[in-house]
Amino acid sequence: MRVALRFVSAYGDAGLGLLGDPTRRAIFELLARRPSSVQELADQLPISRPAVSQHLKVLRDGGLVVAQPQGTRRIYRLNPHGVGALRAWLEGEWDQALTDFHKAADQIAADSIHPESLDPNKEQP
């Protein structure tokens, strides 16, 4: 099976791996609650400020986070365009999975109504 997906910048080179790292996912979730500085994020996580900055860079490069200068610091927030693209992709995948499930369920129901169609040795009319 070959699947052709359109490229969306929110995935970056790592695909959904951007949020596969538990620390990056925690940062993403914190930013979903409210915009924060590196220090504010580091205060809520068991990692250093430089480590938070590295994770933010990955999220920013992947299009999921944007930064805005505010005085001597930067305030990070989720990028609505990147999150929207990620959400649209996930909804498409979910819709396809539901469609495939529905087809499989219909086939199972049809096979249980007409079990003779399952016998490959039986001659079809």
What is the overall mean pLDDT for the chain?
84
Through-space distance between the first and last CA atoms of the chain, rounded to whole angstroms: 32
**Which residue did the predictor score with more confidence, 7 or 71?**
71
Please state the rounded mean pLDDT for residues 14-33: 87
Confidence category of residue 34, pLDDT binned at 50, 70, 90: very high
pLDDT in tens, 56-97: 999 999 999 999 999 999 999 999 999 988 888 888 888 888
Residue 90 is predicted with a pLDDT of 83
> Which residues, at least 6 apart from 38, have a Cβ–Cβ distance to it below 8 Å?
49, 52, 53, 56, 73, 74, 76
1-119 topology per CATH: Arc Repressor Mutant, subunit A (1.10.10)
pTM over 0.75: no
Q: How is the chain split into domains, by residue range?
A: 1-119
Q: What percent of the chain has pLDDT over 70?
A: 78
Going by the DSSP 8-state scheme, the letter that residue 16 receives in this structure is G
